[in-house]
Amino acid sequence: MKTTQPRLRALVCSSLLALLLLALLYAQWWLGDLPTRMQFEARLAPPGLDHWLGTDALGRELWARTLAGLALSFQVGFLAALLGSAIALGLALLATFSSRLDALISMLIDTLLSVPHLVLLLLIAFALGGGLQAVVIAVAITHWPGLARVLRAELLQLRAAPYIGISRALGKSRGFILLHHFLPHALPHCLVGALLLFPHAILHEAALTFLGVGLSPSQPAIGLLLADAMRYLSGGYWWLGVFPGLGLLLMVLSIERIASSARRAL
Amino acid sequence: MLEACQLRYAFHAQPPLFEDVSLRLGAGEWIGLSGDSGAGKSTLGRLLAGHDEPAHGHIRIDGEQLPAKGLRPVQWLPQSPELAVNPHWRVTRVLNEAWAPPETLRRAFGIKPEWLNRPVRTLSGGELQRVCVLRALAPGVRYLIADEISTMLDPITQLALWQALKAEAEKRKLGVLVISHDAALLRRLCQRRYHLENARLHAAEHYQLS
């Protein structure tokens, strides 16, 4: 029972995420303009048969807006995790070249880790003018140091392994060792790191959008839905905040659970 | 001729592991090196193969420094073959890392064709050691540092490995430094024998090896 439970949990999370992903991938096609279509006769309608998750102040369907928002969040999370882990992997590989480069990269990692990353995130997103690109870049720049530190330690340990020295003595170039010894060793760690970075990126996107320096107000982002919901919460319109929040929680938890399972399997 | 001149090695601020160690290994020559555990035999072997830098002294091959790039003419064979190969590779990839050994040599070293497609972690220590020895015999290699390579093998496998290596070394006039605790093995294989003790290298004739 002890061994099947985590597997079952991982399976449930993977299936849930796969379903969510399918829904999100096709959201743009089958939702059409539904997330932005206004129905003034049905403003702030509660959840029911006509409006499954209710509508917002402009009469827009909340279920469509939540799905579209999750699709956007997923896109941001994926791109930011990809970019962040690519930076981390590149710099960790570079650190194995020489002790001087390693010292420089370590200093950069320590410096970035010592700055509260939410402040840096806000500054970068603001400086880049907001929008999807700015959010992706801001999240990637502020989140690579943690993963880079792990990868760097892993690769420096590997550099001291006898088979690396032997490979060099057998005439293999630095490029060969990097591609055939270091990279395959680092990739599984990098994948887990990227998976763990994913939910962070999604939450930060929502936070940045909530604070007004993230995605554009015309896009149905989760952060924006939550910020809107804040204005109506005191009026008893609970569905405006609960459903987008639950959707975000479900997605983040599923990804986190899969990343933890992957880390344990490693 | 592989020459080590007045080598000195110390781990950071520790007293020297050994000093004033000089050694010459000619083409086709077999030299034995013994010493207690921790005396510095493996470290000396690693220095001779260019895997580490001495604190003082130098190593030359025919008067020249060891090449910084390309195949090194001195190859080090460590005691644990598991540490000498990428654990994620298959046997054939490890074997062909520097050259493609012909089938006759593979057979001489007892490497079975059915091993080739297996991941290295599925081979025993003895099987893997044979793969490592053959891998190190790439054309251009002139000296071997065999660091207790048969310690973990059964007597029959030991004999087969040394016979195959001896035959190939004689054919190619390879110089071999055999590092071992086994005095009988060193007496049998080597023309000259040294003993590392009290941070110095001594001719082993003066020592009663156990």
Q: State the residue for tokens 């941001």.
A: A76
Asked if the C-beta of B106 comes within 8 angstroms of chain A's C-beta atoms, the answer is no
For the cut 90, the answer to whether the pLDDT of residue A141 exceeds it is yes
For position B61, which CATH number holds?
A: 3.40.50.300
Comparing CB atoms, the residue among A169, A171, A172 nearest residue B49 is A169
Least confident interval from A174-188, A209-223, A237-251, B130-144: A209-223
Q: How many domains does chain B have?
A: 1
Q: Which residues pair with B145 in a beta bridge?
A: B76, B177
Q: Tens digit of pLDDT for each residue in A82-102?
A: 999 999 999 999 999 889 999
Q: Quote the CA–CA distance of B175 and B143 in Å, as a whole number.
A: 5
What is the model's pLDDT at position A4?
59
Q: Give the class (CATH, top level) of A4-34+60-265.
A: mainly alpha
- B70 and A180: CB-CB below 8 Å? no
Share of chain B above pLDDT 90, in %: 82
Asked if the C-beta of B100 comes within 8 angstroms of chain A's C-beta atoms, the answer is no
Q: What is the mean pLDDT of residues A58-63?
A: 90
Average pLDDT taken over every residue of chain A:
87
Asked if the C-beta of B65 comes within 8 angstroms of chain A's C-beta atoms, the answer is no
Comparing CB atoms, the residue among B72, B80, B86 nearest residue A169 is B72
User: Which residues from chain B sit within 8 angstroms of residue A180, using beta carbons?
Assistant: 86
User: Which residues from chain A sit within 8 angstroms of residue B51, using beta carbons?
Assistant: 165, 169
- Domain borders along chain A are 4-34+60-265
User: Where do runs of H (alpha helix) occur along B19-90?
Assistant: 41-48
**Å between B210 CA and nearest CA of chain A:** 30
| pLDDT band per the 50, 70, 90 thresholds, residue A1 | very low
What is the model's pLDDT at position A260?
78
Least confident interval from A13-17, A32-36, A112-116, B111-115: A13-17
Least confident interval from A205-214, A256-265, B89-98, B136-145: A256-265
Helix (H, G, I), strand (E, B) or coil at A34: coil
Kindly list the residues of chain A whose beta carbon comes within 8 Å of any beta carbon in chain B.
Answer: 161-163, 165-167, 169-173, 180-181, 184-185
Q: What is the mean pLDDT of residues B11-25?
A: 90
Q: What is the mean pLDDT of residues B122-144?
A: 94
What is the model's pLDDT at position A12?
79
Which domain, by its residues, includes B83?
Answer: 2-206
What is the model's pLDDT at position B14?
85
